[in-house]
Amino acid sequence: MTSNAEPGHRSGNGPVGVSGPTKSLWLGLLKLSAAAASAGLVLAGIPAALLNGTGGVLSSTFGGLLVMAFFGISLLVGHFVGRNNPSGAIGVFVVTYFVKVVGFALVLFVIGAPDWLHGRWFLIGAVTAVVFWQAAEIYGFSKARLRIYNDPQPVKDGNDEQP
């Protein structure tokens, strides 16, 4: 078997094309990570339902959804800010992280724990969502095609040689 770069029989149905950067990296990661965390919550909900019924399922789901909202906000900020101002995205991430931590803490302290909440299943759901979300993000980043260098521009002085 030969590659398309070597003379001889071509492998495959056509020439190998050039791959460009990944389109909508942040939204793709959001979809992938949310699907993975949701699958993890379904898996965590099975023993929660068997051991503590509806309260266990609601508790694990609530913990997982809270984690998903926390991480999802960051990916949405990355999508909207990063495409217009890539160099300023890190600063916005830091501010967003601070606002999220303070905001979620205030909400949890003000609302308090509902009577139906099982702390153990809330924690299990949150940890499950974190593990599945992070694993999916790592996988998604590993498959992303990020452009690191700009393509060289041709010289405009009439000379065909590159510097």
- 48, part of any domain: yes
Contact between residue 37 and residue 132 where contact means Cβ atoms under 8 Å apart: yes
- 117, part of any domain: yes
- The pLDDT of residue 58 is 95
Domain total for the chain? 1
Distance of CA 149 to the CA centre of its chain: 24
Burial of residue 23 (number of CB atoms within 10 Å: 0-12, 13-18, 19+): exposed
Would you give per-residue pLDDT tens digits along the chain (163 residues)?
A: 445 555 555 555 665 555 555 567 888 899 999 999 999 999 999 999 999 999 999 999 999 999 999 999 988 888 888 777 777 777 888 888 898 889 888 887 888 888 888 999 999 999 999 999 999 999 998 887 766 666 677 777 655 555 5
- 51, part of any domain: yes
- 86, part of any domain: yes
- 92, part of any domain: yes
Tell me the residue length of the chain. 163
Structure tokens given for 32 = 């992938």
- 104, part of any domain: yes
CA atoms within 13 A of residue 3's CA, in its CB half-sphere: 4
Say what the pTM is: 0.72
- The pLDDT of residue 25 is 81
Burial of residue 91 (number of CB atoms within 10 Å: 0-12, 13-18, 19+): exposed
- The pLDDT of residue 65 is 95
- The pLDDT of residue 138 is 94
Domain of residue 136, residue span: 25-143
- 61, part of any domain: yes
- 107, part of any domain: yes
